[in-house]
Each structure stands twice: as C-alpha cells, then as structure tokens.
Amino acid sequence: MSEQRSMKRRQFLKNTLALAGGVATLGPQQLLAADRKEPAHLALLSDTHISADPDNRYRGFYPYQNLQEITGQLASDLPDSVVVTGDLARLKGHSGDYKNLRKLIPPLAEKRPIHLATGNHDNRDNFLSTFAEAGGRDWLVGGKRIITVKTGQVMLILLDSLLFVDLPWGRLGHAQRRWLKTYLNASDDIPTILFVHHPIKGRDPLLDGNSLMKLVRPMAKVKAIVHGHTHRYYYGEMDGIHLVGLPATGYNTRDSEPVGWVETHLTKKEGLFTLHAVDGNTRGNNETQRLRWRT
C-alpha cells in the first residue's frame, strides 16, 4: 500500500470511528485467524427466526431446536468466527425473540466472535437493547450498522439492509453505499467478501442492488456477496462477483431446500463452501463448492 493511500485510510478510519455506535459482535474481539496465513474458517448462518416461544413451530420445523443443534455442531469443531446474515427474530423482532437467541449462543460466544446482522424481520432498537453491552467493530452510518472484520487473508464487511420491520423490501441507502465506496477505496487490496441480508436479484431483492453492483463491479478486491432472505441455497455469478445464497437455519419455504448452515474456508485465491443440512432436503449435505476469485 502506498504511503499516501495508507494516510488516507488512517484518516478515514479516524473520522468514521467517531461515528461508531451500537453493537454487532459478541464474544472475543480478536479473531483466531486474524494474522495467520492459513484459510479463514467461518460458519455462515442466516434466517434463524427465533421466537420468544422456544416451541414455536412453522412448516413442521422448530427454529429454536435447529439453532440449538447447529451451535452444538459448531462448538464441537470451532470455526474462527460466526456470521449470521439477518432475520434473527421470528417475524417482528420482539424483545423476547432476542432474549431467546441470547440464551442459545453463550457457549459459542465465549470462545469465538459472533457477528450478527439484521434483516427485514428484525427490530433494530429491540436487538440493540438486548445486546447492549456487547462490543465489536461497529460503524454507524446514516442510522445503519456496518461491521468490518479482517480474518486471515480476507476482509469481511457486513452491510445493513433493514428498511421496514416485517415487510420484505431492503435497502442500503445512499449514505451506506457512499461509506462503502470510500472504505474500499481507502483500504488495501485484500480480498473482500460482502454480507447483506437481501439478495442482489430474484424475489424481493435489495432495492438498490443495481447501485451496489455498479459500485463494486470495478473493484476487483470484492470477490463475493453472501446473502440470506430467500431461504434458498444457491451459487451464482454476476460480472465475475460470486453470489452465495445461504440456507435458512429456522425453516425452508420450499421442500426442495435444505435447512442448515454453511462452513467456509477463505483464502486470497478462493473460497470452499460446504453445506451442513440439519433438516429439510439433506441430499446435498457435506457437499463442497469451490469458488475461484476474480483477478
């Protein structure tokens, strides 16, 4: 990195940190793989849909028990960190939903960082009040929460697409997109993975998804965009940028879809993504997808 770019980056970080607020990360602040050369080992979850009632059932699935099983799996083979891309709560983001979520994650959060993003079924105020004392690298931009994490050889950026509670649409907004452009321009060329609740395309996409793609398309450091929301597990590509749709951990909305989580190992050149299906369509359980990064 040039001295001029390094100075610009330090000044940008200094100015933006003055706006920091809220919470995002539970558990240890130092990632296990932060300064290592080996692949970053992450667990990717989405759409947990935890209710205030632990016995809540939908489409024959029990979200609380699903997440309980998944946290047990993670505890037996600890990743470097865990990312959850929103829809933490069942429908409207009630305080009781987050209190139940909080009951499930302490054994894991005591050992590894857990990065929580919000989706359209989350209530930001209730979420923040429940996890008020947690720490982490948070940025507050235009009322939106952003999380940046360097782990191993990659950078993770969790964006905030929550627009309305219990309505399907999502938007980043001009301020958050401007922040992202400035941050990416100020940072080095470390491979970067973006996480956001809403998809770029398809059903109920990010309302400003085209603007996001226009922003990141010329930035070769952005290698992939990972999202939830659709309860659909898939891999796609747009302009050389990989699109990864995570399965829901709470329940599927189509019988053909798995319920579970994705384990990934990320390097400077590629990502390995392995499905762990705990319910639903388990046919692809333990299958691995290799994604080569664009250059």
- Over 90: is that where the pLDDT of 194 sits? yes
Rounded Cα distance between 206 and 144, Å, is 15
- Name 237's Cβ contacts closer than 8 Å, sequence gap at least 6: 243
How confident is the prediction for the chain on average, in pLDDT? 89
Instruction: Give the span between the Cα atoms of 22 and 268, in whole angstroms.
Output: 31
Domain of residue 110 covers 3-292
pLDDT of residue 207: 97
Lowest mean pLDDT among 124-138, 199-213, 281-295: 124-138
* CATH assignment at residue 139: 3.60.21.10
What value does the mean pLDDT take over residues 69-94?
96
Sign of the torsion formed by the C-alpha atoms of 87, 258, 250 and 22: negative
**pLDDT exceeds cutoff 70 at 107:** yes
Radius of gyration of the chain (CA): 18
Task: Give the CA angle between residues 282, 287, 288 to the nearest 5°.
Answer: 145
The whole-number average pLDDT for the span 123-148 is: 81
Looking at the structure of the chain, the number of domains it has is 1
Give the strand pairing for 192-196 and 222-227: parallel
Nearest of 109, 104, 114 to residue 70 by alpha carbon: 104
Is the pLDDT confidence value at 45 over 60? yes
Whether residue 122 is predicted with pLDDT greater than 50 in this model: the reply is yes
